Amino acid sequence: MGAGLTEDRINKLATSFPINDSLSFCAAHISEQFSYVDKREGDAILRIPSYLGAKISPTESFLGLTLLAFGDPDAARRQLAEHPIKKQTERTNTNAKEMLARLREAGRKGYFLERGEFFDGAVQTGTAIRGKDGKVVAALGAS
């Protein structure tokens, strides 16, 4: 897990937000990849698969893109070049230049938002979790 990100902290973060009809996710950087480290589901009909512990490219998930939005811009460019976004739904934007602009905008706004780009009908938002040194150590998202 990222520096300063313990299981107790993940649990505290994940339970700090009312879930109700939504999903909440927590993910952490692991080298050039990321991994979902926790998932909480409410009573919503929508179920989004996530593979806790699996290491995947940040471009394969909205929460991975959230991590890229708040990290090093050069790393985001490199990830998008090496691991292009794959079309998941009709709404998925696979244009790397446009995605980089969205990531920069998300960094300015403080959150990354996607509407049906990874799963039809899902609106997902995520933000960074920073360590004591101010560096991004994880991301928290909700659907």
Q: What is the pLDDT of residue 107?
A: 92
Query: How far is it, in rounded angstroms, from Cα 20 to Cα 40?
Result: 10
Tell me which CATH code domain 7-142 carries. Answer: 3.30.450.40
| pLDDT band at residue 1 under the 50/70/90 scheme | very low
Range with the poorest average pLDDT among 14-18, 93-97, 120-124, 136-140: 14-18
SS3 70: coil
Residues 6 or more apart in contact with residue 13 via CB below 8 angstroms = 26, 129, 140
**pLDDT: is 113 or 137 the higher one?**
113
Query: How far is it, in rounded angstroms, from Cα 21 to Cα 50?
Result: 17
Query: Torsion over CA of 105, 107, 110 and 113, rounded to 10 degrees?
Result: 60
Query: How far is it, in rounded angstroms, from Cα 72 to Cα 50?
Result: 25
pLDDT in tens, 26-37: 656 555 666 666
Q: With pLDDT > 90 as the criterion, what percentage of the chain qualifies?
A: 29
Q: Where are the domains of the chain?
A: 7-142
Query: How far is it, in rounded angstroms, from Cα 136 to Cα 71?
Result: 7
Structure tokens at 65: 């893109």
| pLDDT band at residue 84 under the 50/70/90 scheme | very high
